[in-house]
Structure 1
């Protein structure tokens, strides 16, 4: 059975608040600027008044993703439309074993091949190889996640034609007040400064996050 990472949010501020969730961008080798997407967004009433808890769940399984777009990424806009994803392994740090850590993209039709073992993939990463293509359209490649039942491209770079992109996902998720439509490009640097952090890198699977009445955050990992 797949392992789920769970974030439970309580709101102790007097007013109903919107919350959105996003992931620490992966480390990329190949490609240019790294972009982040919002993964989930929903409003939540005061806990004392409503008893409501907002739960965000993401599958621990790693996914490679590719997405087609008409324009380069823009903050606040959807990152693209047609997309494909594949469950994929990460290259081991020790060099032992032969995980299925390499997938090859196609653009017509849009897709990713079944992953196989690839030589020279960065430790802790997976590799996406892109074919020859002309833009527009543009193609985004990167790390996708299974969130609350659907797969969303979490963070990405614009793909270069006929190139390799190695992507090393990071199991850190953030919660911030406000609203970003899931699948839309957000400003990670600005949003993460005052956000609550759920750091699952130590093997934890549940993080309870509280927005306190004074606007500060409290987090508890378990």
Structure 2
């Protein structure tokens, strides 16, 4: 059961603490009206493998550039489907809502790393939004402002009030297992006094395997044998990904 505790008010802005995930969430800003008019997408997983299976839905990592170079970007388990019986299905519905994301994690970061305390701020890549991150109390994002990022991107501006020892990650999040609660789809190590442009790539994969939501996965290994879903340029907004008896995946749009 998801439990939302009392609002945690800071000098910067209110945030919500999601008790079940140890997560701080920033309320949406100038995007709330727009999000209600977004197209809705559906991805369904059908298990025809003949075995009870766990599945994970993840995305192609976004393109990330920074003032200091090009950081390594990790894929996270965005949505997990657990214990689907033979012939069974599970479904996720989502919109194009995009969130800048931060989290704490145990270093070094690698496949298997899970997220600790975290927060998110709604951003609009069509407005090329920017948001500043503060690494000392109160930790989190400031007010989202339009402009400053590259085309099709959002920008995270890191203050110089933290070091590598804090173990911060930045990234991209979208609502996942819990509706309206952003879950990370990609993360990278945060560096102080730097600016990061994040350009989402809307390309989804379904693979079998047991993962914790938000856990970093090996994108190269997982995507090689996964089913691919890409709605770009399609009139359809729904897809079913079937795992076949031979273990392969077949997507179908409808």
What aligned pairs does 1:43-122 form with structure 2 within 5 A after superposition? 43-47=83-87, 52-78=88-114, 80-91=115-126, 99=127, 101-108=129-136, 109-119=138-148, 121-122=149-150
Residue 136 of structure 1: SS of its match in structure 2? helix
Contact 2:129 2:144 in 1 (8 A): yes
Q: Residues 176-214 of structure 1: CA distance to partner in whole angstroms, max 9, x if unpaired?
A: 011111111110011000100111222542111111122
Matched, 1:35 2:35: no
Query: Hey, what does 1:155 align to over in structure 2?
Result: 186
Partner of 2:124, secondary structure, is: coil
* Whole-Å separation in 1 of the counterparts to 2:147 and 2:61: 23
Q: Does 1:135 align with 2:175?
A: no
Number of the residue aligned with 2:233? 202
Contact 2:105-2:113 within 8 A present in 1 as well: no
Report the CA distance between 1:157 and its aligned residue: 1.3
Offset of residue 4 of structure 1? 3.0
Give yes or no for the alignment of 1:213 onto 2:245. yes
CA distance in 2, matches of 1:100, 1:179: 35
Are 2:58 and 1:18 aligned? no
RMSD: 1.6
Q: Distance in 2 between matches of 1:117 and 1:214?
A: 49
Greater strand content: 1
Query: Please, what TM-score do these two structures have when normalized by structure 2?
Result: 0.77
Normalised TM-score (structure 1): 0.88
The whole-number CA distance in structure 2 between the counterparts of 1:72 and 1:153 is 18
The number of aligned residues is 209
Does the 8 Å CA contact 1:172/1:198 hold for their aligned counterparts? Answer: yes
**Cα deviation digits, residues 151-178 of structure 1 (max 9, x gap):** 1121021111111100001111110011
Indicate whether 1:123 and 2:154 are aligned. no
Residue 51 of structure 2 aligns to a residue in which SS? coil
How far did 1:115 drift? 1.2
Gaps of 5+ in 2: 1-35
User: Could you tell me how far apart the structure 2 residues matched to 1:110 and 1:5 are?
Assistant: 33
Please give the alpha-carbon distance, in whole angstroms, between the structure 2 residues aligned to 1:138 and 1:118.
28
Confirm or deny: 8 A CA contact 1:28 1:165 kept in the other structure: yes
Task: Tell me, in whole angstroms, the C-alpha distance in 1 between the residues paired with 2:74 and 2:232.
Answer: 21
**Cα distance in 1 between the residues matched to 2:187 and 2:72:** 8
Kept after mapping to 2: 8 A contact 1:36/1:154 = yes
Pair 1:70–1:178, CA change in 2 (3 A): closer
